[in-house]
Amino acid sequence: MLPIHAAVVVAGGGAAGFMAAICAAEAGLGDIALLEATTEPLHKVLISGGGRCNVTHACWDPRALVGHYPRGGQALRGPFSRFAPGDTVAWFADHGLELVEEPDGRLFPRSNRSESVAATLRRAALQAGVQLHTGVSLQRAAAAAAGGFDLLVRGGGAIRADRLVLATGSHPSGRQLAAALGHGLVAPVPSLFTLALAGDPLLELAGVVMDPVELALHLPQEPQAARAGQPFRQRGPVLITHWGLSGPATLRLTAFAARALKASGYRGELRLDWSGGLSQQDLEGLFAQAKRDQAKRQLANWRPWPALSRRLWLALLQRHGVDPQQRWADLAKRHQQLLVSALRDTRLVITGRGPFGEEFVTAGGIPLGEVNLATMESRQQPGLYLVGELLDVDGVTGGFNFQHCWSSGWLAGQALAT
């Protein structure tokens, strides 16, 4: 049964909503109702990380942490100074869940199962006295003249809430509710996506991973975007797929260039340095060494450096008309120049986004300037709190989006209980 009155109503049963409700209840606040529109709360937690849930990232310093957020940036330094990844690890440990760091810094539950994370949050909410209502969506919210909020849920039920937390993620309903309560909106656009390429130039290399690769994105609107501080360059692992490019470096690139890519219609040129930043002189030195030390070996059987994918190397030989059975000693200078150029500057035409997004992350939402980031309370409407992906904050892949949810939810929970 839905309550007629609640001290706090939290709309949205995802990571940020659960954290806000739990922290407020554990700090001593009672009468908290957590509404989830679907029958499965914490759905994104359950499906994230391939069912493993990348809870956060081992980036302990808030000054470095903010660099992983294309939108939010320095504004998040204050919130992260109060609740950072180390605090997230400690919070889950206090609630019975151990997180384990992987070599790349990502943190997962020791069980390697996202259900462990969801179960921990559900158990903490139950023990703290949070009342969870599933299949209940908030349809309308209006500030009451005497204070608090008059809420209408799907099906006609009404609730009077003293305070309201919107934790509706990127769903349009949350933006509409916030707008009705006086908030603006930064138009949402996709972030963290793969890139489709013209003519399937790398189709035969699907499955190849190269690390590190330097990516440079060139768009028609690049001069304007560059003046706005967009980097459009990334370095790291790249995965070649059946439709184009993916992998951490590609996802970071699309995240930081999300708005410029949208403005260009997802058309442009991508330049890849497969060497990861080696100079032309460095590469020529590697070729000279191979010609000297591996003179009798065939090009197909010896690559300029060991980490260069054999499939990629063979494809470049074929593309530039170089016989892979040729000995290194017989490699013509003209062919060497072509290969060095291709390794340092392969140019591909972008035709759009790939078919999959990384957990459906979007850039956009409620402007951060409209929220007191020390408490997550609205500057437009007293008693209203906004947390998680509803805000104009998005992080790159690696646990950073969840970290913002934990931090903003924790801050709101602490503020609600004071």
Domain with CATH 3.50.50.60 in the chain: 5-189+359-416
State residue 227's pLDDT score: 41
Whether pLDDT at 382 is above 90: yes
Average pLDDT estimate for 192-221: 91
Q: State the average pLDDT over residues 328-355.
A: 95
* Mean pLDDT, the chain, integer: 94
Lowest-pLDDT choice from 81-85, 231-235, 364-368, 414-418: 231-235
Give the phi and the psi of residue 340 in degrees, each rounded to 5. Answer: -60, -45
How many whole angstroms separate alpha carbon 412 and alpha carbon 418? 10
- Please state which of the ranges 194-208, 281-295, 316-330 shows the lowest mean pLDDT: 194-208
Cα 120 vs. chain centroid, distance in angstroms? Answer: 23
User: Helix and strand tally (H, E) in the chain?
Assistant: 14, 20
Split at pLDDT 50, 70, 90, the class of 155 is: confident
pLDDT at 200: 75
Give yes or no for residue 230 having a pLDDT over 80.
Answer: no
With a cut of 50, say whether residue 157 has pLDDT above it: yes
Give the range among 76-80, 168-172, 177-181, 271-275 with minimum mean pLDDT. Answer: 168-172
pLDDT for the residue 51: 94
The superfamily CATH assigns to domain 5-189+359-416 is: FAD/NAD(P)-binding domain (3.50.50.60)
Three state DSSP letters for 311-380: HHHHHHHHHCCCCCCCEHHHCCHHHHHHHHHHHHCEEEEEEEEEEEECCCCEEEEECHHHEECCCCEECC
Statement: residue 226 has pLDDT above 60: no
Residue 201 reports pLDDT greater than 90: no
**Is the confidence at residue 263, as pLDDT, over 80?**
yes
Share of the chain above pLDDT 70, in %: 96
Strand residues in 24-90 grouped as ranges (E)? 32-36, 56-57
- pLDDT above 70 for 222: no
- List, for residues 86-102, the tens digit of each pLDDT value: 999 999 999 999 999 99
Mean pLDDT of all residues in 118-132: 98
Per-residue model confidence (pLDDT) at position 362: 86
Helix (H, G, I), strand (E, B) or coil at 235: strand
Quote the pLDDT of residue 221.
61
Q: How far apart are CA 138 and CA 158, in angstroms?
A: 10
**223 has pLDDT over 60:** no
Query: What is the tens place of the pLDDT at every residue in 271-309?
Result: 999 999 999 999 999 999 999 999 999 999 999 999 999
Angle subtended by helix axes 15-26 and 400-416, to nearest 10: 30
**pTM of this structure:** 0.89
pLDDT, tens digit (0-9, with 9 covering 90-100), for 36-71: 999 999 999 999 988 999 999 999 999 999 999 999
Q: Report the C-alpha gap between 128 and 266 in whole angstroms.
A: 47
